Amino acid sequence: MDEGSTSQPSDNNKMDSSKEAALLALMDRTGYSMVQENGQRKFGGPPPGWEGPPPPRGCEVFVGKIPRDMYEDELVPVFERAGHIYEFRLMMEFSGENRGYAFVMYTTREGAQRAIQLLDNYEIRPGKFIGVCVSLDNCRLFIGSIPKDKKKEEIQEEMMKVTEGVVDVIVYPSAVDRMKNRGFAFVEYESHKAAAMARRKLIPGTFQLWGHTIQVDWAEPEKELDEETMQRVRVLYVRNLMLSTTEETLRSEFSRLKLGSVERVKKLTDYAFIHFYNREDALNALESMNGKVIDGSPIEVTLAKPVSKDGNKRSGLRSSYGGVAPAGNYVDSNFLFQSRDDVTIGLGTGAISDGFSVRPVNLPPHLGSPYAVDLDRCVYPFLPGSHLVPVSLNTLKPSQLSSAVSLLDYYCHKNDWSLPEYHLYSLAGQEGKMLLIYKVVINSTRSSFMPDKACTILEDAKELAAQNALWNLDCSINSPGSPVNVSPPAPSGSGFLSFGWPGTGIHEVHQRSRCLKKLRGRL
């Protein structure tokens, strides 16, 4: 094996001779070279006979949970099953053990996708399962706290003076004043190494541009989606809109090619989602409308990129350009669509804003709450000196209450009942996990309600209990009897509670949805 200039000679000395012989045999069989440098061992890169540039982005996978005493002689044959390997990089400890993870670059994206399909959660040794997912070389930096009057050309020129390898700068105009930027930009470099070197130079916090101390961090790469998923998308993502542009205007503009082709439009601040009845009309509109000027602003149109619905965890969805994606991620019957504009950058300074731009708020998972999906939940800037007017719950509209807990309070207030009391209980779930459940007591009606599911998160348990109470109250109003009184049950063996509601299937969710929407309409 060849040794790079930065490798540690003791690494090979500590490897037993049989393992070294196995690695040499692998090199003889494949014709690949192997070199160790900077804490990693590179197998190939390029492979024998390779001509031209390295494979494009999306061809590399990350491999985790590798046994520490497993090396290329065992790993490479496994990953060769998925496709032709361009390079295999195993992260190494000084002791000679691996660090538990590696990167495998294939010559094609199909090879990388096949590796994920075949080898994710693959039992590499008895009882040892590896994880495989796509790896994207990050070539983009986020640059914050830049003057808002600087244009793209000025920012790019300045960044090329202080860093090497700059290939592009992405700047978004303010939603309020298109002549100004949003106070941040994304700088694209020719390689991950160039971006890393630039970040190292700029990260200390003492570096200034135009007299401003700038903030620098990695921008999270946009997630690559498989072709099969994208082939199903019939929603367009439109950005760079004026705040004054209406949904009616967008519907009219995007229906010009074919009347009646637009199913619905959802506009959120300066971007929107245009839903079409079929994909062909969406693609035609994309080609026709991209770059078109609407209300004085040139718009950008792309296919919306769906995010899996189970991605909305408490850790937050990740946006395309670094940060937590907003609640403006759009839900339809098939997909949760992700905006690529409004981002919260994790620099410890809070969200980057336009001053007056509207930003959707991250929502908690509403456990299938039927009235939370369609709300435009936004926050607006609170300006010093604004006149404050005290309000009571009676002055609000049901549409202003997004959670079941708030709606239940409102319901009780409107009926001159005492506010609901929440009594917390716990029970043991599977594998000893603590599950939480609330009983809701409304003393004025001498009734209590408890849902048929327990939760692991306190807020979720309370929200679910309020949903259940609202549903039961609505049903009791429509029936001749009094509200159903539900007593605390004994836990079932599964760790969940099964009582109260007749079932937990999708039909029941829709039934509850209709009840709650009807209740909201009456209030």
Report pLDDT digits (tens) over 450-506: 888 888 888 888 989 998 888 777 654 444 443 333 333 333 333 333 333 333 333
- Strand locations in 48-195, DSSP E? 60-64, 85-92, 98-106, 122-125, 128-135, 140-144, 166-173, 181-189
Q: What is the average pLDDT across 170-188? A: 84
Structural domain boundaries, residue 493: 394-522
Whether 381 maps to a domain, the answer reads: no
CA-based nearest residue to 22, from 71, 78, 79? 71
Q: Are 269 and 342 in contact (CB under 8 A)?
A: yes
Say which amino acid occupies 86: Y
Whether 387 maps to a domain, the answer reads: no
Q: What is the average pLDDT across 372-399? A: 61
Give the separation between CA 61 and CA 114, rounded to whole angstroms. Answer: 10
Supply the pLDDT for residue 492: 32
Indicate the pTM of the whole model.
0.44
Supply the pLDDT for residue 388: 79
Answer with the one of 197, 218, 239 that is the final residue of a domain. Answer: 218
Supply the pLDDT for residue 25: 92
Supply the pLDDT for residue 358: 29
Same domain as 17, residue 110: yes
Which positions ≥6 away from 503 have C-beta within 8 Å?
none
pLDDT for 341 beyond 70: no
Same domain as 214, residue 124: no
Same domain as 110, residue 54: yes
Stretch (H or E) spanning 404: helix 404-414
Same domain as 415, residue 511: yes
pLDDT tens profile 408-430: 888 888 788 888 999 988 888 76
At 127, the pLDDT band (50, 70, 90 cuts) reads: very high
At 248, the pLDDT band (50, 70, 90 cuts) reads: very high
pLDDT for 18 beyond 60: yes
Same domain as 115, residue 151: no
At 305, the pLDDT band (50, 70, 90 cuts) reads: confident
Same domain as 172, residue 83: no
Same domain as 482, residue 407: yes
Whether 439 maps to a domain, the answer reads: yes
Order of strands across the sheet that contains 60-64: 2-3, 34-37, 40-44, 85-92, 98-106, 60-64, 128-135, 122-125
pLDDT for 364 beyond 50: no
Supply the pLDDT for residue 446: 78
- By mean pLDDT, which of 244-253, 332-341, 514-523 is the weakest? 332-341
Q: Are 79 and 85 in contact (CB under 8 A)?
A: yes
pLDDT for 252 beyond 90: yes
124: tokens are 């590499």
Number of domains in the chain: 4
Q: Are 189 and 201 in contact (CB under 8 A)?
A: no
Q: What is the average pLDDT across 312-340? A: 37
Q: What is the average pLDDT across 121-140? A: 89
Q: Are 470 and 407 in contact (CB under 8 A)?
A: yes
∠ CA 282-223-152, rounded to 5°? 80
Supply the pLDDT for residue 515: 54
Answer with the one of 110, 135, 160 that is the final residue of a domain. Answer: 135
Same domain as 119, residue 174: no
Q: What is the average pLDDT across 184-193? A: 87
Q: How many residues does the chain have?
A: 523
Supply the pLDDT for residue 398: 66
Same domain as 252, residue 331: yes
Answer with the one of 328, 348, 368 that is the final residue of a domain. Answer: 348
Name the β-bridge partners of 440. 422, 449
Whether 380 maps to a domain, the answer reads: no
Report the percentage of the chain scoring pLDDT > 90: 29
87: tokens are 């390079």
Q: What is the CATH number of the domain that holds 181?
A: 3.30.70.330
Whether 187 maps to a domain, the answer reads: yes
Supply the pLDDT for residue 197: 87
Q: Are 124 and 66 in contact (CB under 8 A)?
A: yes
Whether residue 221 is preceded by a cis peptide bond, meaning omega within 30 degrees of 0, is no
CA-based nearest residue to 122, from 110, 104, 137, 109? 104
Give the separation between CA 138 and CA 223, rounded to whole angstroms. Answer: 11
pLDDT for 407 beyond 90: no
pLDDT for 354 beyond 80: no
Report the percentage of the chain scoring pLDDT > 70: 68
